[in-house]
């Protein structure tokens, strides 16, 4: 779950959350739904996507670990104000191969994560097919699709950049 207060536009400053100490980055491809309902095929899944971008799923790892130990949900580790920086959306069309989008994350200019949607455990299309059987997709819904290895810490003063040749490049800085 990500309330709308989680979203942060490119270039805005991200305030380090007060309820945790270990803030980690997770770069992900994000799709925005333009057609509601259930999807049963990969073709229907592609037709349900209106826009695509990159985003960060920021996680308070210390809070997440504590919640896990207690057997509690992780929302407070993942769904806090400014926990979902999101790039500018581009229209999705057939020229974009959902199974071959390279993307990366740098912190202070140093490469930390590099991935390609072709290496995902579950394709974006199959994620939409499976999720739409649990809840109906609605126009405007966002799906953060998963992160490659290399997640790691952020601290006050860091600059984080996420980029894809297909989608674009977006930057934020972490402030107190």
pLDDT along the chain (176 residues), means of 10: 93 98 98 94 97 98 97 96 98 96 98 98 97 95 96 98 98 98
The pLDDT of residue 2 is 87
Taken in order 112, 164, 147, 140, the sign of the CA dihedral is positive
Domain range list for the chain: 4-175
**∠ at Cα 105 (103, 108), nearest 5°?**
150
The pLDDT of residue 72 is 97
Which pair of tokens denotes residue 63? 């809070």
* Residue 33 CA from chain centroid, whole number: 14
The pLDDT of residue 1 is 76
The pLDDT of residue 36 is 86
Helix residue spans in 81-163 (DSSP H): 124-132
- Tell me the fold of 4-175: Fumarylacetoacetate hydrolase; domain 2 (3.90.850)
């Amino acid at each position: 779950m990500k309330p709308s207060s989680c979203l942060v536009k490119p270039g805005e400053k991200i305030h380090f959350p007060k309820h945790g100490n270990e803030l980690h980055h997770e770069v992900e491809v994000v799709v925005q739904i333009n057609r509601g309902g259930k999807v049963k095929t990969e073709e229907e899944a592609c037709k349900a996507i209106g826009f695509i971008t990159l985003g960060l799923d920021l996680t308070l790892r210390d809070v997440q670990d504590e919640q896990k130990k207690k057997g509690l949900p992780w929302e407070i580790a993942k769904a806090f104000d400014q926990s979902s920086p999101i790039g500018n959306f581009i229209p999705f069309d057939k020229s974009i191969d959902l199974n071959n989008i390279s993307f990366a994350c740098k912190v202070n200019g140093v490469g930390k994560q590099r991935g390609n949607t072709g290496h995902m455990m579950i394709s974006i299309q199959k994620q939409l097919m499976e999720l739409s059987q649990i809840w109906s997709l609605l126009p405007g819904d966002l799906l953060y699709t998963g992160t490659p290895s290399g997640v790691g810490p952020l601290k006050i003063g860091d600059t984080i950049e996420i980029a894809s040749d297909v989608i674009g490049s977006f930057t934020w800085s972490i402030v107190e």
